[in-house]
Amino acid sequence: MKAQFGVIGLAVMGQNLALNVESKGHPVAAYNRTADRTKAFAERTQGRKVVPAYTLQEFVATLERPRAILVMVKAGSPVDDVLAELFPLLAPGDLVMDGGNSHYDDTDRRLKLAEERGLLYLGVGISGGEAGALHGPAIMAGGHLEGYARVKGILTKIAAQGPEGPCCGYFGPGSAGHYVKMVHNGIEYAIMQTLAEAYDLMKRGLGMSPHEMADVFGEWNRGELGSYLLEITEGILRTRDPETGAPLVELILDTAQQKGTGKWSTQSALDIGAPAPTIAAAVFARIVSALKDERVHAEKLIPGPEPHLAADRAGFLADLHHAVYLTAVSAYAQGLRQLRDASQERGYGLDLAEVARVWMAGCIIRSKLLVPIRRALTAQPDLPILFLAEPFRSRWRDHHASLRRIVAEAHRHGIPAPAMSSALDFVDAYRTGRLPANLIQAQRDWFGAHTYERVDRPGTFHTEWEAIR
């Protein structure tokens, strides 16, 4: 049996994507560097249209030509290692897709190497975790359009089917797909941090039990904030440790790990000068969380207020919902703004309304919010920031007071809320016609003769500050 699609790398994501493709009627070739895993997968898939291969040569030989190969190995040097072995075995016109969370610079570099050999290359962001890979992920492709055209049929079939079509899209040349996926993860970090802050305010601030908090998250999930991350947060808070019977979340060590995509998203925002402070705050919050021993030590030495809020619970929870809403919108707003700027700078030609459509199902940041977000971006493709468009402008007008009360209460009681406070600061700065940056310009000019512009006439100016003082 010849295979129509090949998967290299049989960890959970690779296996599940292979099974997904096979279940749509396409025979799949499967290869893993260590033969044990290939063997186990072959046993697991007996009777199905899976062709196991134990060498790359054998793998390549079982594929129909021109070949379509998805590489699902750990981002970084493992991808380079696979490509170094694979490329020489392929024929011009064959297509290689990298489905991992590769850095966009790596993807641009690898695409050139593929081009030199006459191969087609796609950097494909795949979101949705293990279950998504098996039942329908969101797929963000970029690279050679001709290659995408060849696999569009298969990718569209294995993708999540969203309210506005299959959650699979081609976003542009080069690393466009991986860049979109990276920013998706930046937004993912920011929303996860926002929900963690809401949990902390309810738990330490209001003294609520996991079950009570689950009820709150569940109620929010049924409203306009409905999302995958809210759904799993409710589920997490309802889960008990089978051994001890205690709420499992309370037994988990409070140090958040990260594999790098949120950091890269922030690094790129800094490089291109895109304002993404809420995403950055979420990355730094994970970094602070990792300083567990230092925090435990400092807790005894650095004083602060008691974290107990004296607030009326119902009123506080209503405010908290609005604060989470506005912070989540801020995360999408900053991420989409970054994509807009990156698209210009890097020549991706991104269609942001299409990005929002692809994020509607399958991926980790899928949310009902993406419906009005897509509508706003369809009406105004170059929208600078979501808060300028409806319904977000009205929501801000009606609810910014709630966000202010939540941030103020958190600060008053010593409960950190970096995502929420950065979202508030971001929108407040964005809506301020005259910021105090004039003073910064004056300081730069004083100590470094860096010059400044004036509001009353054109030109570039320098003042001998000491001389005229």
Q: Which residues contact 46 (CB under 8 A, 6 or more apart)?
A: none
Tell the smallest beta-carbon distance from residue 396 to ligand 6PG (Å): 28
Q: Checking DSSP bridges between strand 5-8 and strand 68-71, what pairing results, if any?
A: parallel
Nearer to ligand 6PG, 27 or 123 (CB): 123
Nearer to ligand 6PG, 63 or 229 (CB): 229
Tell the smallest beta-carbon distance from residue 58 to ligand 6PG (Å): 30
Q: How far apart are CA 204 and CA 307, in angstroms?
A: 6
Q: Quick check: 458 and 322 in contact, CB under 8 A?
A: no
Q: How far apart are CA 454 and CA 355, in angstroms?
A: 40
Tell the smallest beta-carbon distance from residue 334 to ligand 6PG (Å): 17
For residue 402, give both structure tokens: 């709630």
Tell the smallest beta-carbon distance from residue 370 to ligand 6PG (Å): 14
Nearer to ligand 6PG, 91 or 287 (CB): 287
For the chain, how long is the longest CA-to-CA vector?
88
- DSSP annotation of 413 reads T
Q: How many other C-beta atoms can be found within 10 angstroms of the C-beta atom of residue 304?
A: 9
For residue 351, give both structure tokens: 């269609």
Nearer to ligand 6PG, 13 or 407 (CB): 13
Q: Quick check: 153 and 185 in contact, CB under 8 A?
A: no
Tell the smallest beta-carbon distance from residue 379 to ligand 6PG (Å): 27
Tell the smallest beta-carbon distance from residue 378 to ligand 6PG (Å): 24
Nearer to ligand 6PG, 201 or 365 (CB): 365
Inter-CA distances, 390 with 265, 358, 380, 401, Å: 27, 21, 11, 18
Q: Which residues contact 255 (CB under 8 A, 6 or more apart)?
A: 289, 290, 292
Nearer to ligand 6PG, 12 or 61 (CB): 12
Tell me the residue length of the chain. 469
Tell the smallest beta-carbon distance from residue 233 to ligand 6PG (Å): 15
Nearer to ligand 6PG, 32 or 102 (CB): 102
Give me the active site residues, please: 181, 188
29 - beta bridge partners? 6, 51
Residues at the contact surface with ligand 6PG, assessed by CB under 6 A? 101, 127-129, 185, 188, 257-259, 261-262, 363-364
Per-residue exposure over 200-237, b if at least 16 CB sit within 10 Å of its own CB, e if not:
ebbbbbbebebeebbebbbebbeeebebbbbbbbbebb
Nearer to ligand 6PG, 45 or 193 (CB): 193
Instruction: State the residue number with the nearest CB to ligand 6PG.
Output: 127
Identity of the residue numbered 227: S
Tell the smallest beta-carbon distance from residue 417 to ligand 6PG (Å): 20
Q: Left if phi > 0, otherwise alpha if psi is -120 to 50, otherwise beta: which for 232? A: alpha
Q: Quick check: 164 and 374 in contact, CB under 8 A?
A: yes
Q: How far is CA 165 from the centre of its chain?
A: 21
Nearer to ligand 6PG, 50 or 71 (CB): 71
Q: Quick check: 376 and 390 in contact, CB under 8 A?
A: yes
Q: Which residues contact 364 (CB under 8 A, 6 or more apart)?
A: 127, 128, 129, 184, 185, 188, 228, 229
Tell the smallest beta-carbon distance from residue 319 to ligand 6PG (Å): 28
Q: Quick check: 329 and 387 in contact, CB under 8 A?
A: yes
- DSSP annotation of 67 reads -
Torsion angle of C-alpha atoms 439, 441, 446, 449, degrees rounded to 10: -170
